[in-house]
């Protein structure tokens, strides 16, 4: 997100536009926690994870009264347009602000789950995959040495994009996605089949949104096979760390595109990247339409796990 903030501030400055930064998202907007930002305020942040503007969940923004208070703060600062970096929750808040108060809003997709319709990838996704993959590579050394089965749970509440990429890149024996639920009998059969092929150890990747998560998969294997199975839940470690180059480039392009979109008079849309260029998707479609995992990649994962 810092790379996107940097891009917004510097692109706006290039076009002679002042930028006001809002601390802690909609909570800060409701409280009027805002300040001017210039090019030097965003120096040396492109390599930092997280966000220098901080973030928070805002319950007050869910009410029309809370959004009215935030809109009044924007008007008091002379703000002509708002750029919101986040996921579907943030986009809901931006959409209602535009609908109720006519303030132009542009969404920038920032969620490691990569589950927003209208863009090939979201900010943070590439870094989360690399972080999880590094952990899987280390666990495979232990799995092979001790001839154990490791179940690794990665993030992805409603989408299996991270799990699928990590499974293919990490050479996993199986992957369990929210988009494709397997019965408990299938889970144990995967392990038995691997053992029959001469595999003394296995790595199974589970998205947290799969029913029961990694714990359910682990218990099913132990109950039905009796094999030594260990569960590793990577959790929020995937949300931090210095962003990889792909995320920095994506965030920079999306941040600049958001500024240009406001200059062009666009509003209530999310900027994204698809088919090699920038895309603009109505905010409501980003949560109303479903973004499926790559079925070709899913087939590839199954094929290469023999």
Give the whole-angstrom CA distance, residue 286 versus residue 291: 9
Q: How buried is residue 110: exposed, middle or buried, by Cβ count under 10 Å (0-12/13-18/19+)? A: buried
Closest CA to 167 of 124, 210, 200: 210
Q: Which of 33, 41, 113, 120 is catalytic?
A: 113
Give the whole-angstrom CA distance, residue 251 versus residue 240: 16
Does the active-site annotation cover 228?
Answer: no
Which residues, in sequence order, are bridge partners of residue 107? 84, 270
Residues 297, 165 contacting (CB under 8 angstroms): yes
Exposure string of 243-257, with b = 16+ CB inside 10 Å and e = fewer, is bbeebbebbbbbbbb
Kindly list the catalytic residues: 113
């Amino acid at each position: 997100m810092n790379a996107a903030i940097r891009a917004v501030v510097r692109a706006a400055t290039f076009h002679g536009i002042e930028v006001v930064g809002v601390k802690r998202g909609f909570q800060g907007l409701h409280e009027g926690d805002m300040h001017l930002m210039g090019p030097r305020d965003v120096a040396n942040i492109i390599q930092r994870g997280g966000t220098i503007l901080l973030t928070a969940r805002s319950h007050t923004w869910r009410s029309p009264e809370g959004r009215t208070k935030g809109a009044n703060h924007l008007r008091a600062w002379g703000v002509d347009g708002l750029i919101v970096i986040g996921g579907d929750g943030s986009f809901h808040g931006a959409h209602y602000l535009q609908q109720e108060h006519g303030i132009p809003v542009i969404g920038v997709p920032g969620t490691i789950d990569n589950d927003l319709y209208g863009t090939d990838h979201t900010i943070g996704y590439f870094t989360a995959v690399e972080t999880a993959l590094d952990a899987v590579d280390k666990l495979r050394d232990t799995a092979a040495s001790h001839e154990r089965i490791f179940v690794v749970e990665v993030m992805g509440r409603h989408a299996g994009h991270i799990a699928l990429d990590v499974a293919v890149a990490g050479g996993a024996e199986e992957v369990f996605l929210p988009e494709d639920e397997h019965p408990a009998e299938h889970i144990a059969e995967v392990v038995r089949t691997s053992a029959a092929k001469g595999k003394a150890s296995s790595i199974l990747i589970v998205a947290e949104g799969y029913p029961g998560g990694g714990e359910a998969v682990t218990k099913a294997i132990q109950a039905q096979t009796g094999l030594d199975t260990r569960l590793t839940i990577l959790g929020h470690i995937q949300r931090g760390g210095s962003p990889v180059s792909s995320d920095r480039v994506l965030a920079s392009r999306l941040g600049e595109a958001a500024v240009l979109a406001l200059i062009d008079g666009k509003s209530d849309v999310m900027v994204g990247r698809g088919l090699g260029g920038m895309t603009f998707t109505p905010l409501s479609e980003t949560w109303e339409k479903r973004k499926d995992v790559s079925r070709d990649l899913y087939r590839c994962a199954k094929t290469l796990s023999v």
